[in-house]
Amino acid sequence: MTDQFEQERSPLDPSLSAIMSERRGLINLAYRLLGSLAEAEDVVQETYARWYAMSRQQQDAIEVPGAWLSKVASRLCLNVLSSARTRRELYVGEWIPEPLPEPSEWIGGRSDGFTIDPVDRVTLDESVNMAFLVVLDAMTPAERVAFILHDVFRYPFAAVAEIVGRTPGACRQLASSARRRIRAAHTPTTPTVRQARIVNDFKRAWEAGDISALIGLLDPGATAIADGGGRASAALRPIDGAARIVRFMVQLARNLRDLTILERTVNGQPGLVLQQDGVTVTVAALQIEGERIKHIWATRNADKLRPWTTRRPGGRGRTGSA
């Protein structure tokens, strides 16, 4: 990894090594707080910019640099979340958290040369599955930050209070409120093997144009949300009901000629990727309840598909079905 800061010190500088080793944790934190890998990268870059803007004496005075970096990154994320509602009012259509591939599927880094393979630094667990991120996105910024910092990253409420700017007691209430939202949205987890089988059946039915099979694999009250962001054609509102979703899917397949449907891991769970001429045009995260698909989140905004568009040099990319 190279960036402008590393060039200023010897690669053997132990203080530099210790500071840069925090990047993985910061990316993990920022992605869960923001639901966007691109914004998480920006926040982490700004965090390091603030660290290196200090004098060496100021840096040495900080007893735990990792804690300082986390605090700054969290505050930056809180600022981003606070302004996100206004930005999303201008967003074209529905907004979906940015989908993440498996690390082995990531291929391109940022073109500015500051960050390479950031998805390698995001640990894929239940706190990044799409259903979880969608619930987080409905929270207030303070609720989300308090919950993620305390319940996911185990920060004490005293530390959370310093970041959020409220009392420890208020932060405890924020986390409790967020926890209630999570519980209300929680559904029994379908084993991954069964999820993969249902996704495979869904893929095959879509490829065959088997409308009856597609409808049978969807919950009657299923909902599909597409995120085009004005960059790609997409339904501007949620699509409710299995029959309506299937009609939309069939029309999409007609519009996108030479469409290839691939089974891929999306945010740690079985999902689908649609490609045209080898280029990813849609990434679909699925929530499966029992034996049927309850929710589909289809990302078509090219800005959010950056990690899916090229393969990492020397990576073990896959083709066809998983």
Confidence category of residue 134, pLDDT binned at 50, 70, 90: very high
- % residues pLDDT > 70 (the chain): 85
pTM value is 0.84
Q: Is the pLDDT of residue 139 over 70?
A: yes
Q: What is the mean pLDDT of residues 188-204?
A: 94
A 10 A CB-CB count for 319 gives 8
Q: Is the pLDDT of residue 81 over 80?
A: yes
Q: CA 317 to CA 322: how far, in whole Å?
A: 11
| DSSP codes joined into one string, 176-201 | HHHHHHHHHH--PPPPHHHHHHHHHH
Least confident range of 30-39, 78-87, 102-111: 102-111
User: For 167-182, how does the pLDDT look when each residue is reduced to its tens digit (9 = 90+)?
Assistant: 999 999 999 999 999 9
Residue 48 has a pLDDT of 96
User: For 197-222, how does the pLDDT look when each residue is reduced to its tens digit (9 = 90+)?
Assistant: 999 999 999 999 999 999 999 999 99
Structural domains of the chain, ranges and CATH numbers in brackets: 6-96+140-185 (1.20.140.160)
Confidence category of residue 21, pLDDT binned at 50, 70, 90: confident
A 10 A CB-CB count for 138 gives 11
